[in-house]
Amino acid sequence: MSDRPASVERFVRPPSGGMDWAADGVRALGLVGVLVAAVWMTPMNAGVLALALPVVLVPRFVGVRPWFDIVFCAVVLLAAWSNVLDLYTTIAGWDLVMHCVCTGVIAAMGHLVLVRLGIVPDPLAGLRRVPLVIVPVIALAVSAVWEMIEWVGWAFVSPDIFVAYQDTIGDMAAGGLGGLAAGVLVAYVPLIRDQPAGRSGR
């Protein structure tokens, strides 16, 4: 029996099917994107994409189901590339869409981390109402940190980063909405590999 922590065992577990390979392929594309940006774009672009790399490793440590692994990694990388390609300013409403979707999947993953750490109960084996409260709270916290990072970028990196009061409130509201949807997802859909199919918890 291995003495390694369970999270490490989950991380080093080899892919067991096509969906697992696909999830690892998305992670590999994240690394390729950093290399592409470093060679053909700017160091700042490469840095933005590099920030996403440790985030897309989290699903392996948590041991989520492959489909959610793929969705999580794809959304996080899309959010990073949206910054690099200026999609937030060139496509109307894209900023709100990404704040809703990306914040939602990150909040869902944050709750699963808490489940693995034993801080909150598995919603499919206990009270379903717990993630309906906790996940939106995590989403609002993530939204606040996201806005702080944008302000730091505007203040110390580039004044081209759009920061305004109404934009901040709208982004946080979108993140909260994404958190509400993610809370329902966590409460009723098995996202962890070894989660039970579900019980009629309250």
State the pLDDT at residue 158.
57
Dump pLDDT digits (tens) for 61-114: 999 999 999 999 999 999 999 988 989 888 988 989 999 999 999 999 999 999
Q: Where are the domains positioned within the chain?
A: 16-85, 92-202
Residue position matching structure tokens 């189901």: 65
- Output the six-digit token pair for 16: 């067991």
Tell me: pLDDT of 2 over 90: no
Tell me: pLDDT of 165 over 70: no
**N- to C-terminal Cα separation, the chain:** 37
Residue 153 confidence class, pLDDT cut points 50, 70, 90: low
Dump pLDDT digits (tens) for 39-67: 999 888 888 899 899 999 999 999 999 99
State the pLDDT at residue 198.
54
- Quickly count helices (H) and strands (E) in the chain: 8, 0
Q: How far apart are CA 200 and CA 135, in angstroms?
A: 20
User: Which residues pair with residue 192 across a beta bridge?
Assistant: 64
Q: How far apart are CA 93 and CA 100, in angstroms?
A: 11
State the pLDDT at residue 199.
52
State the pLDDT at residue 161.
57
